[in-house]
Structure 1
């Protein structure tokens, strides 16, 4: 589930730093009439298309041997390293929808060492699909680029939607808002106009012992109609154990909202079948950091997992960079939502020019009843920011065996915060330290936890009223020292609690749970933390 591509550079590549050149357009191929949507692009013959026929195709393919996407000239693609790939730039005069009434032009990514699998990309018009035929003249590239030696019709690695041509805020030639690139990964801009974490079409056996994780690919993409602020895309997904048909309706607003319908057909048995998976990076934060491991105070795309359970509970699980692979499961029935959030929005907490403080939060809103299952959180150890080491997904309780069919619908919200505020106080920081009371000798083997809460009913507490802390630990026992106080920063509703845990033996993780209440009424979300003794 990790990727070793330079994510800092990739975020810039997917963002605002590319200056695209302009060249003259090409005529349509073969003398066939060009679609109004695609002047200058070479197109294949028209063929009928509908989402129902795509699902039927996926169902049929599930009973056939896996073939997978084409990898043209793999040795040649290996020579297109990241530097060479970065010098290959799509010429925006060839952009799909660069002309005509549709607002959002589409540009394309080139194949290379890190993106070797070609995806067939089609344009839809009047219920017909025509393939967009790769031609090297669509791209600006150095004269000695190895990409010039690729065979005819080699294909594209992916695509992206540029900002609206009529935007008063962005230049569409230089700014995009959603990108599909690599396997079934996709990204979108959040409210703060920055790329960050990724979504995936599906997750197959992530972090399962004795099994290799599979990364199914979007092998065919159909770029469909646009209406107002929305675009429609269809995708055929294929892997050794799965075939699927996916529909995306993506809307550009303050952030990005995606309505997604999925139909999956299993070729083989899957142990951890991940629906609506989100993939992010967490290296370190104020919670824990190795001494002098990096000059920055924090480095992460997301700092926690938020959950809204079927029974109405609001949970917050701070992320970890664990000593080894950890998988946590939070059982639920018909969850109301979950997401990987970036709550820390203070630039001085990162002091980095790639703007971790602006990375989007991504929330999954299920549609309909998802039934019984669990939200799975997988955390891998990492020693750098170039690795995506966090995955969260919904794993249905129903067995994922060969011949099974699954249908799921949900909405993805790429925003600055979760889209459905609870009204409860939020957890905004988790800090660890040596146990005991300040100014006195610190007892050995005691760990202190400090949790900060902000907002909700805490902002309206009468003077002299303190909330009550409820805290539990799965191992060891709570120490004598506890403290609840308003943080002395003059921010209304900003409180912190401290408590000690003692008697922890061994290095197995410790599960902690805490929240604030007034009387019998909870006034904060539930903090759930996995502590790794060291």
Structure 2
């Protein structure tokens, strides 16, 4: 599931610059507005036909995409690629035939597989034929040696053409395998989504199926979606996708996917999310970096089919860890960036403004589990966190699936917990009480809760802590309001032996009614920083 160091560094540098790279009109309009834009012959197009094509492909052996001129593409490294800028005069829909202009990414060392780009006008599509003339590039760039129609690496959508800054501001991008991402309501890129996850953290090598072709239909107004169709192909799976991308305060994407399996898949991840978590306040002590926290997301949030709200704090383990949260017809899940305090990051890349990403299932998803994958990392350039839905039934060759869901790229959960307090921080330290000899076999967990419902407690009334552990012993619990804040701190001491993981669970209640979401945490006694100091 992890991406290469180079890919992560490349994407982060583009995002930090406010671009995901510096980067055509309805099909007929493109000719009039961009006389030099080379379009292929018209072809009939429909989503049903794309689905049928994916199903047919699944019945044949996989044929990997061939990178054009591999000796040339292999020399388009990070620095060379950064000098290849799509010319805005060739941007589809910039003539007003659509609301959001489109630009393309060039092929390069880290994005070597060509993706065919098509523009849709009604039931007709035409492919955009690659030429180096579309790009500003240095005279001595090796990219000039690429063959005609070598293809593109991906695309991005820019802001409303009526905006003066549309040429430098984009809001969604599809680049690399089946990865895509969007900005949130604070105008910043962060974590990514993927079309599919195949055999992530299993006994088999992970596969990264590719979007092989895109078919793009423009929005006609700021209230209308951009429609993107995509064809997916990989060694074990094919698929046809339809995305409705809507630009609002953040970005919302409605996704419909039809999947066809060539081979058995050990772990089939639906609606996969990919993020980075290096460290936060609970494990900073053993991370050698000057910043207080470094992460794109700090927790997995779940809204189960039976209505329970759960917060699972993320970890950076020393070995790959997979956690499963069994459910039926989940109401939603997401990798969230709750901590929005800039002083907690002190970093120019704006971690405090990174979007959260929430998945809302549309239709019945039946039995399965939300699975969380946590992979060790020693730097922020690695995507080391994955979360996705895995159906309970085995994923066998010949199976077909249809899923619909909505993705919300925004700062906060689109379905707030109005009647429950939420977790705002998880902290760890030595067990025992101040002014006493601290036992060496006790570890203290301190969890902070915030929410309007806590303000309904009468003076002198304290919530009850309900806490459990998968092993070891809870020695004492304590809850108190933090003076001059609206925060309540719930703390407990844990005594545990050995290095096996410990699954902890806690929530607050008043009488028989819960006052908070459920806090979950996987304590890893073998890791420095998750031990008593």
Q: Could you state the TM-score of these two structures normalised by the residue count of structure 1?
A: 0.94
Instruction: Give 1:51's aligned residue.
Output: 47
Looking at structure 2, the residues matched to 425 and 123 of structure 1 have their Cα atoms a distance apart, in angstroms, of 47
Contact 1:20–1:92 (Cα < 8 Å) also in 2: no
Looking at structure 2, the residues matched to 186 and 465 of structure 1 have their Cα atoms a distance apart, in angstroms, of 48
Query: Among residues 230, 236, 243, which one is paired with 1:235 in the alignment?
Result: 230
Instruction: Give 1:40's aligned residue.
Output: 36
Q: CA deviation at 1:107?
A: 0.3
Query: Among residues 488, 502, 506, which one is paired with 1:510 in the alignment?
Result: 502
Q: CA deviation at 1:69?
A: 2.2
Deviations 1:143-177 (A, max 9, x none): 2211111111111000000000123xx61100000
More deviation, 74-83/365-374: 74-83
Q: CA deviation at 1:7?
A: 3.5
1:352 and 2:347 correspond: yes
Contact 2:259–2:400 (Cα < 8 Å) also in 1: yes
Looking at structure 1, the residues matched to 513 and 404 of structure 2 have their Cα atoms a distance apart, in angstroms, of 34
Instruction: Give 2:531's aligned residue.
Output: none
Instruction: Give 1:10's aligned residue.
Output: 11
Q: CA deviation at 1:459?
A: 2.5
Looking at structure 2, the residues matched to 267 and 221 of structure 1 have their Cα atoms a distance apart, in angstroms, of 22
Q: CA deviation at 1:529?
A: 0.4
Query: Among residues 194, 216, 219, which one is paired with 2:212 in the alignment?
Result: 219
1:133-148 to structure 2, matched below 5 A, reads 133-148=129-144
Deviations 1:12-52 (A, max 9, x none): 42475459989xx9xx9xxx996457653211101000000
Query: Among residues 330, 335, 345, which one is paired with 1:335 in the alignment?
Result: 330
1:180-195 to structure 2, matched below 5 A, reads 180-195=174-189
Q: CA deviation at 1:444?
A: 1.3
Looking at structure 1, the residues matched to 10 and 122 of structure 2 have their Cα atoms a distance apart, in angstroms, of 39
Q: CA deviation at 1:11?
A: 3.5
Going from structure 1 to structure 2, the CA distance change for 1:36 and 1:70 (only over 3 Å counts) comes to farther
Q: CA deviation at 1:99?
A: 0.6
Deviations 1:299-347 (A, max 9, x none): 0000000000000000000000011000000000000000000000000
Query: Among residues 111, 115, 127, which one is paired with 1:115 in the alignment?
Result: 111
1:417 and 2:412 correspond: yes
SS in 1 for 2:284: coil
Q: CA deviation at 1:225?
A: 3.4
Going from structure 1 to structure 2, the CA distance change for 1:473 and 1:37 (only over 3 Å counts) comes to farther
SS in 2 for 1:61: helix
Looking at structure 1, the residues matched to 299 and 69 of structure 2 have their Cα atoms a distance apart, in angstroms, of 41
Contact 1:180–1:186 (Cα < 8 Å) also in 2: yes
Looking at structure 1, the residues matched to 128 and 333 of structure 2 have their Cα atoms a distance apart, in angstroms, of 37
Going from structure 1 to structure 2, the CA distance change for 1:38 and 1:520 (only over 3 Å counts) comes to farther
1:497 and 2:498 correspond: no
SS in 1 for 2:180: strand
Instruction: Give 1:258's aligned residue.
Output: 253
Q: CA deviation at 1:268?
A: 0.4
Going from structure 1 to structure 2, the CA distance change for 1:410 and 1:485 (only over 3 Å counts) comes to same
Deviations 1:49-98 (A, max 9, x none): 00000000001110011113231122221211111111111111111111
Looking at structure 2, the residues matched to 369 and 383 of structure 1 have their Cα atoms a distance apart, in angstroms, of 39
Query: Among residues 401, 422, 441, which one is paired with 2:437 in the alignment?
Result: 441
1:525 and 2:517 correspond: yes
1:301 and 2:291 correspond: no
Deviations 1:263-296 (A, max 9, x none): 0000000010000000000000001024460010
Q: CA deviation at 1:101?
A: 3.0
SS in 2 for 1:479: strand
Going from structure 1 to structure 2, the CA distance change for 1:231 and 1:21 (only over 3 Å counts) comes to closer
Looking at structure 2, the residues matched to 178 and 33 of structure 1 have their Cα atoms a distance apart, in angstroms, of 23
Going from structure 1 to structure 2, the CA distance change for 1:20 and 1:318 (only over 3 Å counts) comes to closer
Contact 2:96–2:161 (Cα < 8 Å) also in 1: no
Instruction: Give 2:157's aligned residue.
Output: 161
Query: Among residues 428, 431, 453, which one is paired with 2:449 in the alignment?
Result: 453
Looking at structure 2, the residues matched to 525 and 115 of structure 1 have their Cα atoms a distance apart, in angstroms, of 41
Instruction: Give 1:205's aligned residue.
Output: 199
SS in 2 for 1:130: strand
| Runs of at least 5 residues in structure 2 that lack an aligned partner in the other structure | 527-533
Equivalenced residues, count: 520
Deviations 1:179-199 (A, max 9, x none): 000000001000100000000
Contact 2:22–2:168 (Cα < 8 Å) also in 1: no
SS in 2 for 1:227: coil
Contact 2:304–2:331 (Cα < 8 Å) also in 1: yes
SS in 1 for 2:283: coil
1:63-74 to structure 2, matched below 5 A, reads 63-74=59-70
Contact 2:47–2:229 (Cα < 8 Å) also in 1: yes
Contact 1:307–1:338 (Cα < 8 Å) also in 2: yes
SS in 1 for 2:155: strand
| Runs of at least 5 residues in structure 1 that lack an aligned partner in the other structure | none
Looking at structure 2, the residues matched to 320 and 127 of structure 1 have their Cα atoms a distance apart, in angstroms, of 48
| CA RMSD, 1 decimal | 1.8
Looking at structure 2, the residues matched to 341 and 448 of structure 1 have their Cα atoms a distance apart, in angstroms, of 25
SS in 2 for 1:365: strand
Q: Could you state the TM-score of these two structures normalised by the residue count of structure 2?
A: 0.95
Contact 2:93–2:218 (Cα < 8 Å) also in 1: no
Instruction: Give 2:391's aligned residue.
Output: 396
Query: Among residues 356, 362, 379, which one is paired with 1:361 in the alignment?
Result: 356
Contact 2:99–2:218 (Cα < 8 Å) also in 1: no
